[in-house]
A and B are shown apart, each in its own frame.
Chain A
Amino acid sequence: MKYLDEFNDPVVARQLFAEIERITTRPWAIMEVCGGQTHSIIRNGIDQLLPENIELIHGPGCPVCVTPVGMIDKALDIASQPGVIFCSFGDMLRVPGTSRDLFHVKSEGGDVRVVYSPLDAVKLAEDHPDRQVVFFAIGFETTAPANAMAVHQARQRGLTNFSVLVSHVLVPPAIEAIAGSPATRVDGFLAAGHVCSVMGTWQYGPLVERHRVPIVVTGFEPLDVLDGIRRVIAQLESGTAALENAYARVVTDAGNVAAQQMVDDVFEVCDRRWRGIGEIPLSGWRLSARYGDFDAETRFDVGAIDSSESALCRSGEVLQGLIKPHECAAFGVECTPRRPLGATMVSGEGACAAYHQYRGLDVIRPTAVSGPRGDDD
């Protein structure tokens, strides 16, 4: 609890806002990479209180948002098969595939279960030897160690009815793609603190060197985010580009070495398609050959599925920081958390959902406000 109150202190926040105001002389665009940071910024209204010439660009760091639609369709296909218990983190259940979502599969009789840890899925496999238990292993470097551990334990226990549908993504190649794009408007990055707690900071130095861009490893509470923003601006204003760690209470340079070893054992780096962005080279993890037996894609033969995105959805541009969520014509009209067209409208960490849930009064649209009312409680 100490860490919740301490990093929400409004008095210290005001000092940080004042400091940011004082040092800012020019317009700067800063991308917070992680969806957790986006959520914190919008929920607390940090973006409303920054100087007008500081723009926050919401990055692609929501694993639910960037999982490609083809992979969602594979999940839906597997989850619909008889005898399967399909396990997923809760957010994934509402992510639209080409024509439906996992909630839909569940309401049609599919055995779809929300788990809070991949190890719970391993236990389900042990408890139901007559069923095929599949875990949807998505996420960035943060969720990878636990997912790797689940596969590792399943093998140790000799489970032949457990498999994983893997769609892991990696942060540094995404920063590389954004910083190296000719269209980029990003002057500096807030790197994702929890990713760095696993992987350390050593992967980010070369990105700073190559693109001459400040990268500050940043946490998630309001004061963490403000301190990260302040440090990026200070660098930009002084013309320097360095790697800084503003989340030292959690992140070390080396990261969690045991977790990295577990991940290296179970996964290997691969090219990965990101929903809304496209393929980024060497930006994902898939099961290594040693653990190929646990690959749900081969076990269930889901190779040829015809996938397509909503024609209205502009989540790709949102994920790349090219537009803000409410600048999309479908925002709050055809696309709401109730009927999301794109994954960015689903997860609490998705930029569109964060805008819709916590939007300031200035972005209200009349059609998005008046909902049905009434309750039978």
Chain B
Amino acid sequence: MPFYAVACVAFGSIDPIFRDAVPRWNPLTWDFSESKIIFSSLINGPLQGVAIRTIIYVVCAMLLSFLIGFPVAYFLARHAGKRKLMYLVLIILPFWVNYLMRMLAWVNLLSPSGLFSRFMNILGVHYNWLDGSPITVTLGLVYGYIPFLILPLYATLERLDWRLIDAARDLGANSRQAFRLVTVPMSKPGLFAAGVLIALPMSGDYYTNDLLSRSPSTEMLGNQIDFFLNASTQPQRGALLVLALSIFLLIFMSFYLRSTRQHARETTR
């Protein structure tokens, strides 16, 4: 129902006097002219940069998250041994630390007088971290969402039948071969699901960007939605962008839902 309301505002008309969006509840009278403007602007207009930037940031942040998160989850599932519970608690802790607190922590560290900036100055790196830096935004996304990647990854790896890997080793595969030929293919659905799980919120994120950069040069789709819905007189455009984002993400979502349902079926069998 709320989604229908979004569509109605998105395809509604604009009140000529108040310049405010008038939703059209009847789908037959929907007006698609504004949506054409927005979509063409996303593909080859002023919003194109925002769309591409969103995709690049999310992809980079996701790759980095995997690069950091996979070894952590792998260790946790395979080598943690008796200390597993302790590691698990330490890794779950950031989950329970407010997202904004974690961003606040980094804003403090990265500000020109902050500890991290001063440390980098000593190393000879002079960089304005908090003023429209794509690096900061991407790393901020990684920092913010990586706990949400590690736990599902861990759950997947934990569930793997490690006897198969031992069997591969016993049959003469070295550890790298066993990893590449057995571990990775077996955990692929879980890897994919975990990736989707963080790619979705990252794509709609706007506050990480707002806190760590505040510059139009790093703006993402979420920022545009936030702007149009909360700070402008064109909520219609915001609604359209929400629709565009949803359509784009729906592809991932349906894939995720299908793979989890498949998994549920396999485990209940």
A and B physically associate: no
Could you tell me which B residues sit within 8 Å of A by CB distance?
none
Could you tell me which A residues sit within 8 Å of B by CB distance?
none
